[in-house]
Amino acid sequence: MNTFRPLLFTRFVKIEHSVFALPFAYAGAFLAQGGIPGAGRLFWITFAMVAARSLAMGLNRVIDREIDARNPRTAGRELPSGRISLNNGVMFCAVSLAALALALSQLPRLTWYLAPVVIAVFAIYPYTKRFTTFCHLFLGATDGLAPVGAWAAVTGRLPWQPFLLMGAVTFWIGGFDIAYACLDLDFDRREGLHSLPAALGPRKALLLMRISHLLAVGLLAAAGFVFGLGTLYFAGVAVVFLLLATENAFVRTGSYSHVGAFMNMNGVIGIIFFGFLAADLLAK
């Protein structure tokens, strides 16, 4: 019989990985405000982001539970191993959805209108690997919703500018996910799952990862010009470029031992980017 153990659920959705999208949500919020948004607004944006990411990851785990059970790398996850029951996994998703609704009730009405689209994206993503090699970019775009949603949460409007940040996150996370998919290359081919490494081979796929990361840096630079940001911001973009270049230098065909460690490094990259952005805005 499964018992309720809260720590299991933090591992179930890897709550610590919320740091990937949070810095970009804050970036969208700070740019929308032109500085630091109010403490209350920041609290509810943070609450909404953690709830949304928990919902997205929970849905991913529930939908992919049978695939995860067949994959030696993921068979030890909470649902396939039986440490969390399917009913409890579904209940966790429901609680995360309720928490997201609570947060949105404290934010501008536009966030409510956008919520069904966002939730649909969360539900669709786990299925994309079953029919398209663009699953990596779909994952990136899912995380890329963070700065767009935060902008709407601050201003109640949605112009085109925050979509530059969405594009940057899409290519940044999507590029990393290509490398991560190399860990499951043989399994994906055996199961008929779609990933760029399985479809093109790891060498071509990793080349596309590098192109994707270059596009991410280019969009970050473009955002700097569009928002009229200064030297500190562009120094941050340069640091992001160097860190992503380091990632790419260590990921080579046939050697993927560093890929898992880059999960944490990506969190550091997001924090560094936001730090330089915030410093630039506050220095004005």
Flag whether 2 is in a domain.
Answer: no
Q: Is residue 7 part of a domain?
A: no
Q: In this predicted structure, what is the pLDDT of residue 136?
A: 96
Expressed as residue numbers, the domain containing 238 is: 12-283
**DSSP-assigned letter for residue 77:** S
Question: What tokens were used for 215?
Answer: 């596009």
Q: How much is the pTM? A: 0.92
∠ CA(172), CA(35), CA(16), 5° rounding? 45
Domain with 53 in it: what CATH number?
A: 1.10.357.140
In a domain, 4, yes or no: no
| Domain membership flag for residue 6 | no
Mean pLDDT by 10 residues, the chain (284 residues): 57 63 93 95 95 92 95 90 90 95 97 96 96 95 95 96 96 93 93 95 94 98 97 97 89 67 78 96 89
pLDDT of residue 267: 81
User: 120: which 2 tokens?
Assistant: 């649909």
Contact 2, 81 (CB under 8 A): no
Query: What pLDDT shows up at residue 168?
Result: 96
Residue 76 belongs to a domain: yes
pLDDT score of 1: 44
Look at residue 132 and tell me if it is in a domain: yes
Q: Which two tokens stand for residue 61?
A: 């785990």
Could you give the CA distance from residue 183 to residue 256 in angstroms, rounded to a whole number?
Answer: 7
Task: Answer yes or no: is 1 within a domain.
Answer: no
**Contact status, residue 155 vs residue 90, Cβ threshold 8 Å:** no
Domain count, the chain: 1
Provide the pLDDT for residue 154.
97
The single-letter DSSP state of residue 36 is P
Asked if residue 262 lies in contact with residue 176, where contact means CB atoms within 8 angstroms, the answer is yes
Among residues 183, 170, 168, 165, the alpha carbon closest in space to that of 137 is found at 170
Query: What is the token pair recorded at 173?
Result: 């996370």
Residue 5 lies in a domain: no
- pLDDT of 9 reads 61
pLDDT at 5: 62
Tokens (6 digits) for 195: 């990933």
Residue 6 CB contacts under 8 Å (≥ 6 apart), including other chains: none
